[in-house]
Amino acid sequence: MNYRLSEECPTLPRFDISVPHPARMWNYWLGGKDHFAADREAAEQAMQVMPLIPMVARATRRFALAAVQELAIAGGIRQFLDIGTGLPVDDAAHEVVAQRIAPDTRVVYVDNDPIVASHARALLVGRGSGQTNCLHLDLRDTSAILAGAAETLDFRQPMVVLLSAILDFIPDADDPWEIVERLHAALAPGSYMVIAHAASDIQSEAVAAMSGLYNERAAAPITPRSRAEVTRFFDGMTLTSPGVVPATGWCGTAAADTALPAYFGLGLKAA
């Protein structure tokens, strides 16, 4: 059993609880307990213009966990790089995989939120089995993420990269497609990339109103994107069925008659 916290995590920066933060708002929408008054207020305001947000959060969570389980069981993959981990509500990637499916699974969690890093400290102490690590880094620090993850994961072997509700927070000016390409380039053939992203072309008026309100309050602005823009993240990969589809296109994510403004996709790096 080998648990450790990366050197990037030893001293957590101070944070302002009066400013809403995406991870804490997301935790609120998921029914968690790790949020403050400012997060709850901003989350409720966003729900007033788009009441489906909690359903989007739950569907995204189910999609990510279903992908982890499927790739661990059917795909036999034993390495996971979870970027934008967020605050735990129930299961975390290493709990679903390492504890229940494959004790030898290795997982690296990455998040730039100091509260998430603090929870990772507690999560990684004496729980589960296998080798688990945490990197307190921003997705834009791609080189540092790859270097830090390589201390735990073997990039010569297939792995799964989870980018669940994180690319939304990278504006076009920072070229999120190039960031994903750098991650993709570092992966071995047989690796998978799991992406969940807010949609700009489903319930577009409500999404625009929600994101405008959200961006006025939250610490990190959100950029919803179209299906074509989300599909670009999978350039150079083989999309698995059913491709990049709305949340309702994945079995069990939501009621079929509910149009959830989010896209889900799973891509394979072929040989």
Show the DSSP H helices in 36-186 as ranges: 37-49, 53-73, 93-94, 114-123, 142-149, 176-186
Q: What's the pLDDT score for residue 116?
A: 77
What are the structure tokens assigned to 71, written together? 């790739």
The pLDDT tens digits along the chain (271 residues) read: 333 444 344 444 456 677 887 888 888 998 888 888 988 998 999 999 999 999 999 999 999 989 999 999 989 999 999 999 887 666 666 666 666 788 888 989 898 887 777 776 666 544 555 588 888 899 999 999 999 999 999 999 999 999 999 999 999 999 999 999 999 999 999 999 999 999 999 999 999 999 998 888 777 889 999 999 999 999 999 999 889 999 877 654 444 446 799 999 999 999 7
DSSP string, the chain: -EE---TTSSSPPP--TTS--HHHHHHHHTT-S---HHHHHHHHHHHHH-TTHHHHHHHHHHHHHHHHHHHHHTS---EEEEES----SS--HHIIIIITT-TT-EEEEE---HHHHHHHHHHTSS-SSSEEEEE---TT-HHHHHHHHTTTS-TTS--EEEEES-GGGS-GGG-HHHHHHHHHHHSPTT-EEEEEEEBSSSSHHHHHHHHHHHHHHSSS----B-HHHHHGGGTTSEEPTT-SEEGGGSTTSS-TT---SEEEEEEE---
CA distance 81 to 166: 13
Q: What's the pLDDT score for residue 258?
A: 61
Q: What's the pLDDT score for residue 115?
A: 76
Give me the number of domains the chain comprises: 1
β-pairing, 262-268 vs 192-198, is: antiparallel
Residue 56, domain extent = 2-268
Q: What's the pLDDT score for residue 255?
A: 46
Q: What's the pLDDT score for residue 82?
A: 93
User: pTM for the full model?
Assistant: 0.88
CATH number at residue 149: 3.40.50.150
